[in-house]
Structures are given as C-alpha cells and as structure tokens.
Amino acid sequence: MRDTHVKELAELLQLERLEDNLFRGQSRDIGTRFVFGGQVLGQALSAAQQTVDPSREAHSLHAYFLRAGDIDAPIVYSVERARDGGSFSSRRVVAIQHGQPILNGAISFQVPERGLEHQSSMPEVPEPEDVEPMHRVPPDELARLPVKLQRWLGSDGPFEFRQVWPRDELHPAKRPPIQHIWFRLTAPVEESPDLHRALLAYASDFHLIGTSTLPHGISYLTPNLQMASLDHALWFHRPFKVDEWLLYSFDSPTAQGARGLARGQIFSRDGRLVASTAQEGLIRLRGE
C-alpha cells in the first residue's frame, strides 16, 4: 500500500504536455478541503523543469497562492520562458483552473558551479529511529470530525513524519514557535534529481505555517480557525534524496495582522543543509 501511495504521488507530479509551454495536471484528494498547496508547488516546478535544459538545476522557487484549488478539476500550467542566460534561466509559471489563476510562481535555474561554502549547523535532535511515528487520532475523537478530516487523519500517505516534540492537534498546548520533524517517502523512487526536487516542493508545505500557531494553543483543527497559505519560497542548496530521512526544522519569528510567518531549514541525515523555506499564511480566528 505504501508503495502505491508513493507511485501515485510520483505520477501526479509528471504532467501531461499540451504544448511547448503548456501542461496539465490532475489532483489527488488527500482529505483537505481544497487542493493541497504542496501539490500545486510541486507541479508548477515540474512544469518549469520541462522547459529548461537538463544541465540546469532549480535553485529557487517563489510563489503566491491566489485562489483555492478545486480537487475535482484539472490544473493547467502555463510556463513563460522569461530568460535563458549564460548561467541562469528564469521561468514564470501560472497555474490556471476554471479560467482563473490559482498560483503565480517564479523559478530560477542555474548551471552547477563551484563557489564559497558555509551553512548553519543542524540542530541536535534524536535520530529518526529514536523518535516515535506520529500517533493516529483515537477512533472516538476521529468520528466527531468532518468526513474529509477523517480521511486526512485516518489514512496513510506517501510520506512518513516523526515529530521530535509531538503535539496533540486536537488539544494543543501553548509552546514556543519552534519544531523539528523527520520525514521521508515511505518507499524508494527513481534516481531523478528533478523528481526529488518536485517531491520536496510538495512536502515543504507540510507543517510550515502551522508553526505560527504553536504559541497560541490553536491548530488547524480548531473549529473557528481559518488558515491558508499566502505565499511560499523554497531554495535548493545541495543534492538530496526524499526517500531518505530529512530533518525539517521550523521557526516562526512573528505573527500579526491575521498573518503568520514561518521559516524552515531542511537537513540531510549527515547534517548537510539541503534546502530552506519561508511562508506567510493567513491565521484568522473567526470569533474575534
């Protein structure tokens, strides 16, 4: 079953080419109300990668989420070849559904080259084998949640997550806006750097903006809470494999104006900083 979930996700990120710069992707219902933002990020990156010389690697992605995506309709990705220079290529991607843009993105690619190097140190945390898998919601509490959330919380997915500091999302306690989560695919995939980058773009949307809720004793399951990603930035630094353990370290420096800002650093198991993320999201308590 786990192999099936991973295969489905890999296929989801391999888009149908309609024209030279036009692609179509399908959606997977994972129990969220709308299309999962990470899916649109991964597919947008996949579309852009197909318009660039294979010798050039994506190093940064910046995107704005404009509208919620409809799970039951395909998404068309229009790629503009903004520039192909001697070392860098730039692409603009618009994800379109029902004739309207749901995401605007810009992605930059570079010919690999050597240069100065330094990085932040990986936090000192237990090894993934010493961290328990995330616990399922008890059946009696799961039954009281909306059907879509029951599917989200009660089924396996293509990724395995292990929280260094577990949190009860149904009964969240207040704590500092910092968390560390080990994650990996539940089955191996082909050795394609482009695929692994698209998979990481997909996974990078998990848990990120939720870090901004930690000091306030709320979670995405809080009944009167409205949460939505507004933008997303992702930088690729060094080679990695998403079917091997990666540590996602989050912090949220601020929340204000019904918005929260969260940042992330993704490390390989041997301590290499392989990617960085940042996201601002809507965090609105409807009763206030």
Catalytic annotation, residues: 205, 229, 279
Q: What is d(CA 1, CA 106) in angstroms, rounded to the nearest whole number?
A: 35
Q: What is d(CA 121, CA 124) in angstroms, rounded to the nearest whole number?
A: 9
Find out whether 65 and 240 touch, Cβ atoms under 8 Å.
no
Residue type, 104: N
Read off the DSSP letter of residue 21.
T
92: phi then psi, degrees, rounded to nearest 5:
-110, 135
User: How would you classify residue 114: left for phi > 0, otherwise alpha for psi between -120 and 50, otherwise beta?
Assistant: beta
Residue 104 is inside which H or E element, if any? Answer: strand 100-110
- Closest residue by Cα to residue 216 from 264, 258, 164: 258
CB atoms within 10 A of CB 18: 12
CB atoms within 10 A of CB 21: 17
Q: What is d(CA 83, CA 99) in angstroms, rounded to the nearest whole number?
A: 26
Which token pair is 170?
Answer: 């149904």
Q: What is d(CA 71, CA 143) in angstroms, rounded to the nearest whole number?
A: 23
